[in-house]
Chains A and B, each alone.
Chain A
Amino acid sequence: MRALATSFLATALLVTGLVSSVGAQTGGAWAVYGGDNANTRYSTLTQINASNVGRLKVAWALQLGSLRSQESTPIVVGDLLYVTSSHGPKNVFAVDARTGEVRWRYSPEVPAGIEQYACCDVNNRGVAHANGKIFVARLDGHLAALDARTGKELWKSQVIDHTSGSIITSPPTIVKNLVITGFGGGEFGVRGYITAFDQNTGREVWKLYTVPAAGEPGSDTWKGDSWKFGGGVAWHIGSYDPALNLLYYGTSNPAPWGAAIRGNDSSNIGQFTNLYTASTLAINPDTGKLVWHYQHTPHDAWDYDGVNELVLVDLDIGGQKTPVALKADRNGFFYVLDRRNGKLLSADKFVDLNWAKSIDMATGRPVENAEKRPRLGFRAKDICPNLIGGKNWMPMSYSFQTGLVYLPTMNLCMDMEGAQPQYKRGAFYLAVEFDLGKTGPGGHLGEVIAWDPVKQQKVWGNKDELPYLGGMLSTAGGLVFHGDLKGWFKALDAKTGSMLWKFNTGSGVSAAPMTYELGGKQYLAVVSGRTFAIPAFFGPIGEKMVAASAEGGTLFVFELPTQ
């Protein structure tokens, strides 16, 4: 057994030697949410591979102490595994990564009624680690630093007042001595920003507003004073390229939803593009200054957030090894950007969509289908994708072995228009109204696809009768892992997509899995617990989602049994 493990290690090292400067340096550890700062979610480990994956068994499980909407990917540093539950997080656990024995638990006091401020459920996606500290971004708008060995809270800083409808759900990004976070929500009026804190003191080092103020470059892309509450929040995970010293974040939709307040409310956008919403931002992490931006959905009217994670890899583009950023946007286009300067290299539809015909390579802008843009007093029908997007937050994975991206896609459409009665806090007003529960072309609701990012084409796809498939992991063992709403956790052949193994976790899996090696043994971990709030948007489709499995909250860790 030992000899076998050593040979696997050697293979792993060999593979590591081939990969890019930014990605796939996971080795045995998995020290950051996306596997590495490039968010590749690729592991070089090969002990678990296509020949033996069928024998995987549960090594141990951990009850997270909170039900519903688990979205966490654990991290492993040394011999400890750190994982969060939903709802606050209600719990952060540090456990022995071999046995699951709890070393410490951090259970912050969460303000009562916080779910009344959270737009899209009380989830948490995990923690970050640096220099002996664990960093937890919390629903209540605070960032906390914990001693990684004891769980003791070292400092806590406020990022945003959660009663403004802004909460934090994603782990922060680590860059040098900084810990950097955005926040989510902002339905009640907020101007997005990203803040960097000193890891040791919790003091704010810089703050970058994602919407320019009056007089700043880009402010003329907002009508009137609409920039003041223009949204553009960075609620998902960031990426970092140490060689270029650039930090990358995506930004959400502009606010409010009704585009008439922010601009022309028309496919003839003119100057009112609403920068820097629905965009990719490259930031100098030393100064907090914007270096470049690329806007995916100018003057958004569909709620196509641009927050999806940026995967940083080096691809052969036209014979040149090029540092790129890959993004499968909510708007349904798969973007390949030169991550040095934001130049668009290619963009193609990875799902059936109709709101735009294509992306104009000269301008980088979508060529819109005007009848699919909802406007004040105009109900646009059967817009694809719907506002949950061709892909939502559930992370994709890039395999250095196959050169393919594995991503969970959705196939839903919607009707949307500008003005219907709404009610909040005693007042009535006209708000955007929508019907989201429309099945896309083909009748399936979700599909796991393998995507060639160079050729911009699908290599294989596994259709699913339900949406909201889980995040992805790919490994040098020739495998892809992901979960689904029914609670199945599956291993696929990375080349063909054929299913090699599955395990029923008992509740829907949206969270992305991870893998690590400790004491010569490879483990595989995934958090189970069905999304709770999202089905409420989908009518009868939502009922199917709820029926698929009950709420849950369990971390499962798998291993190959010793023979």
Chain B
Amino acid sequence: MKSRATAAVVALTASVVLAGPAIPAETLRVCADPDNLPFSRAEGSEHGLYVELAELVASRLGLRPEYAWFISNYGRRAVRSTLLADRCDAYFGLPDDAEFMGRSVIRTRPFLDVGYAVIGPRPLALSSLNDIKGRRVAVQFGTTPQLLLATRPGFTAVTFRLAEEAMEALTRGEADVAFLWGPSAGYFNKTRLGGAYAIVPVAGEGLQWQAAVGVRKGQDSLKVDLDRVLDQLKPEINTLADKYGFPLARPIELDGRRGEIGRSLFNQHCSHCHAPNAMSPEPTRDLRRLTLRYGSRMRETAYATIMGGRVDKGMPAWKDMLGEEGIQHVLGFLESVQRAP
């Protein structure tokens, strides 16, 4: 990894080889923004989560990583000018959303949850959006939180051009809390503020997303390779996310709507064993203890159990009854009732 830091990476648009010690003949051409920490950076000692992950992925595939750098101020244009122009083959960190770029881009399974977060001095108690009502909330221009606060009465946004400027305003007391893209805020908090602020990821429409690797239509075998390797690299991805300060806690459902549908479904289908509103007095059936029990694996464990059941313990499979969407609602509800560790 050391040799990469010394590689001469100057031109913004040229493909630049970041050579490793043993140089395989075949390359993995990676599309990346040259100056966009914590995601990617061409120069300096830190290269960002997506670049470090690309290095690991290439290494597992026995390929030599090579980079096409392009500033992604205009996201679709960056994808068109790099990935779709055949200047690179793998764009790390595109939204796992079929609407984005249509059919010209195919995506791996998502490898990371990313989203917006509320940032404030510790302790930061947050259970709904109302908790920041009436406070001065620093937001970034053109982001979902700016839109969200503008469309609800009683909220006061203080708008900044960059997430970093919003964080600085928070430290100067020009805002009471901030509502920003989690990874940007987390990285700033970690590298500049010594982790002084609490960062609480929040969920709601347009607030939580999943990042995938985009490849060109037709590159199906590359996609299969990437999926396999990304799956193997899950522990390393978590380590990298932690290194760059990405907030990893489960998001809090802000508007409660998903939780409300989930509560209703839960009370119809689950309450005869797990008690209405999940308030079971029997610890083994008390689903408010899932996070205590499974920690960061809470959601995937609960998801697998609800989908497939645990027939030997009397828990049926709910896949056909609730469907994927219903299960997500129930999970949203369950997350909203978890006991603090």
Contacts and interface: CB of A to CB of B under 8 A. Distances in A.
Nearest to A423: B75
A427 B206 contact: no
A426 B161 contact: no
Contact of A228 (B36, B159, B184): B159
Contacts of B149: 224
B215 to A, nearest CB: 16
The 5 closest A-B pairs by CB, nearest first: A423-B75, A189-B141, A426-B39, A113-B12, A430-B206
B11 A422 contact: no
Interface in B141-175: 141-144, 146-147, 149-151, 156-159, 161
A119 B12 CA distance: 18
Interface string B33-58: 10010111000000000100000000
A421 B184 CA distance: 19
Contacts of B243: none
What bracket does the count of chain A residues touching chain B fall in? 35 or more
B191 interface: no
B247 interface: no
Contacts of B39: 425-426
B147 A261 contact: yes
11 contacts: A112-B12, A113-B13, A421-B99, A421-B206, A424-B73, A425-B33, A425-B72, A426-B50, A426-B181, A428-B95, A536-B80
Interface in A400-450: 419-431, 433
Given A425-B72, A428-B97, A430-B206, 17 more contacts: A112-B12, A113-B13, A113-B70, A116-B71, A189-B141, A228-B141, A260-B151, A261-B147, A265-B151, A421-B209, A423-B76, A425-B33, A425-B39, A426-B33, A428-B95, A429-B144, A536-B80
What bracket does the count of chain B residues touching chain A fall in? 35 or more
Nearest to B182: A427
Interface string B60-92: 000000000011111111101000000000000
B294 interface: no
B203 interface: no
A300 to B, nearest CB: 16
A26 interface: no
A225 B80 CA distance: 34
B73 A188 contact: yes
Nearest to A257: B142
A376 interface: yes
A263 to B, nearest CB: 9
Contacts of B36: 425-426
Contacts of A430: 144, 147, 205-206
Contacts of B150: 223-224, 226, 260-262
B277 to A, nearest CB: 31
A422 B100 CA distance: 7
Given A116-B70, A224-B156, A428-B209, A260 B143 contact: no
B141 A229 contact: yes
B251 interface: no
B73 A112 contact: no
Contact of A112 (B13, B94, B205): B13
Interface string B1-15: 000000000011100
A195 B256 CA distance: 49
Interface in A142-177: 164-165
B73 A421 contact: no
Contacts of A113: 12-13, 70-71
Interface string A214-258: 000000000111101100000000000000000000000001101
Nearest to A430: B206
A117 interface: yes
B73 A258 contact: no
A262 B80 CA distance: 31
A428 B144 CA distance: 8
Interface centre among A226, A419, A422, A429 (most CB of B within 10 A): A429
Contacts of B259: none
B144 to A, nearest CB: 5
Given A423-B100, A425-B73, A428-B95, A256 B151 contact: no
Contacts of A112: 11-13
B147 A260 contact: yes
Contact of A419 (B70, B147, B184): B147
B183 interface: yes
B120 interface: no
A421 B100 contact: yes
B114 interface: yes
B245 interface: no
Contact of B77 (A116, A255, A258, A427): A116
A124 B159 CA distance: 32
B147 A423 contact: no
B49 to A, nearest CB: 9
Contact of B99 (A117, A165, A228, A420): A420
A173 to B, nearest CB: 28
Contacts of A425: 33, 36, 39, 71-73, 75
B332 interface: no
Contacts of B71: 113, 116-117, 425
Interface string B114-129: 1000000000000000
A213 to B, nearest CB: 13
Contact of B161 (A116, A189, A420, A536): A189
A165 B181 contact: no
Given A116-B77, A256-B142, A260-B147, A421 B161 contact: no
B327 to A, nearest CB: 23
